[in-house]
């Protein structure tokens, strides 16, 4: 077990047995800490202990950040550790960001997110690069992705985010949805708007965006597979005609299929190398018995990876999803369509569980008691709805 994995599993007890508030905080810390692996960083024992105090409710997130700053100010002359300082500070900043379910979905919002993530860490936090870059990549045998020219960065960010803002997920299949999300995230990362911290910024922005369109991103995919996520982005943006290598988004698609659809692709970096050893040439889906048998002794499975997030075992949620379809309906309209008369039972047994599980959302989320309030399916709910319809 490596250090990154050990750090992550420090919070497993809260996730398995904790109260809902503690569980959510633990997931956020797992993600924030796990993302540091994309740059080979690990957090300190002090950060992990302080994070647990936050999960327990002893201190708030701003107190965590201040304690981390004070800790490193006291260490600076005796035993400086810039890598631990970066990992701790950035983890605390990301935890604060992910605790707040808001998103400025714009190029300026993306740039501001980099500033918030790396505030107090990088002097250039929130500053778009004004030079060109290359990076040697292990999966490419020390070759580099061709990142965007620095003079085009602002234009490219504006264009990509505006295109995504205008895209409609209505009526598309789950496969088309995954393919589209992959292209958007891959393109955003390839811009590489900053000198450092691009993958972590893209990951946090992606989590925020997926939440905003209805996905309940509460598993540990980014936490435990952040290095795979980065290498999958590399492969999606690398092409070498002389070596017969084309852009390969399939690895990133498999990350998102696990994240959003509950599939079980084996997410290990050796499958992503441009010249893998024979045993790593075929990436298995562990949901397939034949594939799973080949790697049973190599992998660990968790409750999260076993869960199929497209489906629900709650028949009331399924009925509500089928009834809403692609419409917007009021409580009264939904109850009439379901043939229900008891409002309290409907709210407690149908509507609230559907909202909490991420299948249904409010038309006016900031005004729950809005006089014209209606309810509609999230992207996750639409995926389930289309599967229900296809089986009829």
Instruction: Determine the Cα–Cα distance for residues 285 and 301; give it in Å rounded to an integer.
Output: 12
- Banded pLDDT at 147 (limits 50, 70, 90): very high
Residues 332, 351: contact at Cβ < 8 Å?
A: no
Mean pLDDT of 332-345: 92
Q: Which residues pair with 245 in a beta bridge?
A: 240
Is the pLDDT at 101 greater than 90, yes or no? no
Of residues 23 and 130, the one with the higher pLDDT is 130
Percent composition of the chain: helix, strand, coil (DSSP 3-state, to 5): 60, 5, 40
Cα 159 to Cα 234, 251, 347: the distances in Å are 21, 25, 41
- Banded pLDDT at 6 (limits 50, 70, 90): very low
Q: Is 284 helix (H, G, I), strand (E, B) or coil?
A: coil
pLDDT score, position 369 = 83
Is the pLDDT at 299 greater than 50, yes or no? no
Task: Give the DSSP letter of residue 145.
Answer: -
Identify which of 287, 137, 317 has the alpha carbon closest to the alpha carbon of residue 216.
Answer: 317
pLDDT score, position 365 = 79
Residues 240, 54: contact at Cβ < 8 Å?
A: no
Is the pLDDT at 300 greater than 70, yes or no? no
Instruction: Determine the Cα–Cα distance for residues 257 and 182; give it in Å rounded to an integer.
Output: 10
Instruction: Determine the Cα–Cα distance for residues 234 and 245; give it in Å rounded to an integer.
Output: 13
Domain boundaries, the chain: 1-100, 120-309, 315-390
pLDDT score, position 321 = 93
Q: Which residues pair with 329 in a beta bridge?
A: 375
Strands (E), 312-391: 360-362, 375-377
Query: 120-309 with 315-390: one CATH topology?
Result: no
Is the pLDDT at 7 greater than 60, yes or no? no
Bridging pattern class, strands 360-362 and 375-377: antiparallel
Cα 193 to Cα 183, 186, 325, 332: the distances in Å are 17, 13, 39, 48
- Banded pLDDT at 4 (limits 50, 70, 90): very low
Record the tokens describing residue 162, joined without a space.
């505006």
Q: Is 172 exposed, middle or buried (0-12, 13-18, 19+ CB in 10 A)?
A: middle
Instruction: Determine the Cα–Cα distance for residues 270 and 57; give it in Å rounded to an integer.
Output: 40
Mean pLDDT of 147-167: 97
Residues 387, 310: contact at Cβ < 8 Å?
A: yes
Of residues 1 and 215, the one with the higher pLDDT is 215
Reported as a single tens digit per residue, the pLDDT across 188-241 is 999 999 999 999 999 999 999 998 988 877 667 888 899 999 999 999 999 999
Ramachandran category for residue 7: left, alpha or beta (phi over 0 → left; psi -120 to 50 → alpha) = alpha
Q: Is 265 helix (H, G, I), strand (E, B) or coil?
A: strand
Return the number of other C-beta atoms located less than 10 Å from residue 157's C-beta: 21
Q: May I ask the CATH class of domain 120-309?
A: mainly alpha
Evaluate whether the domain defined by 315-390 bears CATH number 3.40.50.300: no
Task: Give the DSSP letter of residue 245.
Answer: B
Task: Give the DSSP letter of residue 147.
Answer: P
């Amino acid at each position: 077990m490596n250090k990154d994995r050990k750090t992550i599993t420090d919070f497993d007890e809260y996730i398995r047995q904790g109260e809902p508030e503690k569980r959510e905080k633990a997931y956020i810390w797992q993600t924030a800490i796990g993302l540091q692996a994309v740059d080979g960083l690990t957090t300190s024992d002090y950060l992990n202990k302080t994070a647990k105090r936050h999960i327990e409710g002893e201190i708030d997130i701003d107190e965590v950040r201040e304690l981390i700053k004070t800790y490193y100010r006291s260490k600076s002359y005796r035993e400086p550790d810039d890598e631990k300082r970066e990992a701790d500070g950035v983890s605390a900043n990301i935890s604060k960001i992910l605790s707040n379910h808001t998103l400025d979905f714009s190029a300026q919002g993306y740039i501001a997110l980099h500033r918030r993530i790396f505030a107090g860490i990088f002097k250039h936090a929130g500053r778009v690069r004004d030079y060109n870059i290359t990076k040697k990549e292990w999966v490419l045998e020390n070759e580099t992705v061709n990142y965007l020219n620095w003079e085009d960065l602002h234009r490219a960010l504006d264009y990509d985010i505006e295109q995504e803002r205008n895209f409609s997920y209505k009526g598309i299949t789950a496969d088309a949805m995954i393919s589209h999300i992959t292209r958007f995230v891959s393109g955003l990362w390839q811009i590489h708007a900053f000198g450092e911290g691009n993958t972590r910024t893209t990951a946090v922005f992606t989590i925020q965006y997926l939440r905003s369109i209805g996905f309940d991103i509460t598993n540990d995919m980014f936490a435990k597979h952040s290095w795979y996520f980065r290498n999958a982005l590399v492969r999606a943006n690398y092409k070498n005609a002389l070596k017969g290598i084309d852009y390969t988004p399939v690895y990133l698609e498999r990350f998102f299929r696990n994240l959003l659809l509950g599939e079980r692709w084996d997410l290990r970096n050796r499958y992503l190398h441009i010249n893998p050893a024979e045993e790593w040439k075929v990436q298995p889906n562990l949901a397939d018995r034949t594939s799973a048998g080949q790697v049973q002794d190599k992998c660990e499975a968790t409750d999260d990876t076993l869960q199929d997030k497209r489906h629900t075992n709650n028949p009331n949620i399924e009925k509500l999803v089928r009834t809403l379809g692609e419409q917007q309906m009021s409580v009264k309209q939904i109850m009439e369509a379901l043939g229900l008369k008891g409002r309290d039972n409907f709210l407690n047994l149908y509507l609230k569980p559907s909202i909490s599980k991420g299948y249904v959302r409010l038309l006016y989320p900031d005004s729950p008691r809005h006089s014209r309030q209606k309810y509609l399916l999230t992207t996750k709910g639409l995926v389930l709805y289309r599967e229900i319809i296809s089986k009829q």
